[in-house]
Amino acid sequence: MEKDSDHQRHLLFTPGPLTTSSQVKREMLIDCGSREPRFIDLVRHIRDDLLQIAGVSKSAGYEAVPMQGSGTFAVESAIGSLIPRNGKLLVIVNGAYGRRMVQIAERLGIAVTSLDFEETQIPAPDVIEAALDQDQSVTHVAVVHCETTTGILNPVEIIAGIVSRRQKILLVDAMSSFGGIPINLAHTGIDVLISSANKCLESVPGFAFVLTRRDLLEGARGNARSVSLDLVAQWDALEKDGQFRFTPPTHAILAFRQALVELHEEGGVDARYQRYRDNHDALVRGMKELGFESLLSPEQSSPVITTFLEPSEETFDFTALYEHLAAHDLIIYPGKLSETPSFRIGTIGRINPDDIRRLLDAIRAFVIVA
């Protein structure tokens, strides 16, 4: 992977927004009208490319619908548009972003129930099966693929099989996994996948997207609880004339085009996954040598972000560590656990094992001084 001079100055070890390449940033210097034929062609190409990354296509009955805003906007758009008025959502929860989907459904007036697991617990298939068998009124199931609360990776393929056998619809929040962890919609049986430009696809914030079966969109007319987040209306507009219904984030879309080029140049999702895995492995080894313990076992962990427990010593101060690293242009995240003191380090974005070593060297210097 080619190194970028600006990338070497400032590194985001976060789950997104994350470090982007110099060329992705440069694309945002171009002004482009949203009604220009070249921009409309670009949006069509991006939609097709997203489906190809997911292992499906328009000819196979799938659609990619971009939506302005953050990933949560697209999650709310999918929940609020695809679940009918008489539908009921079951959310499998083991972190903050599962809880957020429950909150979205409640605010939209959608019947919802949650199946709650500990933040360090992978959802148990037999418990999911029992919940669905007990409540026959559930029509849709939602789960987060990579819960960045901890970095845990949930078994969406197994969950998809359970949901499909009961003829329910599965929505997967793949915000922090799509583009960095291989996911094939056709093979897994996932009905709806939601992700964002500024995660593993290594672009900038500005829009997210929903990948779904066309028949689900066609059957969802009249469901939307929002004007601006009406997923079906957005799809209709894009199909009619290639345009967003409301002002699109033109600069972010231009940057995204370049990010997709760089994904393919790297060797696709499989190659990117291996780089992320190498980053993660180097980080965990190095942090262990420095005396930091990972929250999750290797079997539970994703290569996206890792939660480390704060040392028990009273001398440890996360704020001091954060400020020390920030002074060296290295940015990490505080913890998001409900109770356990922790902090998080991401290993996705335009970074490689050399950058991980740079981070570890800075942490080592802090530990020695502390």
* Tens-digit pLDDT profile for residues 288-300: 999 999 999 999 9
First-residue to last-residue Cα distance in the chain = 35
pLDDT at 129: 98
How far apart, in whole angstroms, are the C-alpha atoms of residue 285 and residue 80?
43
Write down the pLDDT at residue 1: 55
Averaged pLDDT score across all residues of the chain: 95
Residues 6 or more apart whose CB falls under 8 angstroms from that of 61 comprise 213, 214, 215
At 31, give phi and psi (nearest 5°). Answer: -90, 135
CB 43 within 8 A of CB 196: no
Is 5 a residue whose pLDDT tops 60?
no
Is 23's pLDDT higher than 70?
yes
CATH for the 5-19+268-369 domain, from 3.90.1150.10, 3.40.30.10, 3.40.50.1260, 3.40.640.10: 3.90.1150.10
Give the β-pairing of 207-213 and 192-196.
antiparallel
Cα 71 from Cα 74, distance rounded (Å) = 5
Residue 213 has pLDDT above 60, yes or no: yes
- At residue 91, does pLDDT exceed 70? yes
pLDDT, position 104 = 98
Residue 128 has pLDDT above 90, yes or no: yes
Neighbouring C-alpha atoms within 13 Å toward the C-beta of 343: 18
* pLDDT over 70 percentage in the chain: 97
**pLDDT band with cut points at 50, 70 and 90 for residue 369:** low
Q: Let me know: does 152 contact 301? Beta carbons within 8 Å.
A: yes
Q: Contact, 255 vs 201, CB < 8 A? A: no
Q: Give the count of beta carbons closer than 10 Å to the beta carbon of residue 185.
A: 23
Sign of the Cα pseudo-torsion (20, 21, 22, 24, in order)? negative
pTM of the model: 0.94
Query: What average pLDDT does the segment 95-107 reach?
Result: 97
pLDDT at residue 233 greater than cutoff 80? yes
Query: What is the CATH architecture assignment of 23-264?
Result: 3-Layer(aba) Sandwich (3.40)
pLDDT > 90 in the chain, percent: 92
pLDDT of residue 330: 97
Residue 16: band (very low, low, confident or very high) from pLDDT cuts 50, 70, 90: confident
Helices 318-327 and 353-369: angle between axes, nearest 10 degrees: 130
The Cα-based distances of 142 to 49, 111, 129, 170, 271 in angstroms read 25, 13, 14, 6, 28
What DSSP assignment string belongs to 37-71?
HHHHHHHHHHHHHHHHHTT--TTTTEEEEEEES-H
pLDDT band at 182 (very low <50, low <70, confident <90, very high): very high
* 335 band by pLDDT with thresholds 50, 70 and 90: confident
Q: How many CB atoms lie within 10 A of CB 324?
A: 18
* Model pLDDT, residue 314: 73
Structure tokens at 130: 């029992």
Alpha carbon 184 to chain centroid distance? 15
Say if residue 278's pLDDT is above 70: yes
Alpha-carbon distance 57 to 72, whole Å?
A: 24
What pLDDT does residue 7 have? 44
Which phi and psi (to 5°) does residue 204 adopt?
A: -105, 160
DSSP at 301? B
Contacts of 112 (CB under 8 A, 6+ apart): 88, 89, 90, 91, 102, 105, 106
Is the Cα torsion angle 343, 277, 71, 2 positive or negative in sign?
A: positive
Q: What is the pLDDT of residues 243-270, one digit of tens each?
A: 999 999 999 999 999 999 999 999 999 9
Query: In whole angstroms, what is the distance from residue 322 CA to residue 69 CA?
Result: 28
Q: Angle at which helices 250-266 and 268-289 pack, to 10 degrees?
A: 80
Strands (E) located in the chain:
11-12, 62-68, 88-93, 111-116, 140-144, 146-147, 152-153, 169-173, 192-196, 207-213, 305-309, 330-331, 333-334, 342-346
The structural domains of the chain, with segments of one domain joined by +, span 5-19+268-369, 23-264
Query: Residue holding tokens 């909150």?
Result: 103
Q: Is the pLDDT of residue 2 over 60?
A: no
Quick: pLDDT tens for 34-68.
999 999 999 999 999 999 999 999 999 999 999 99
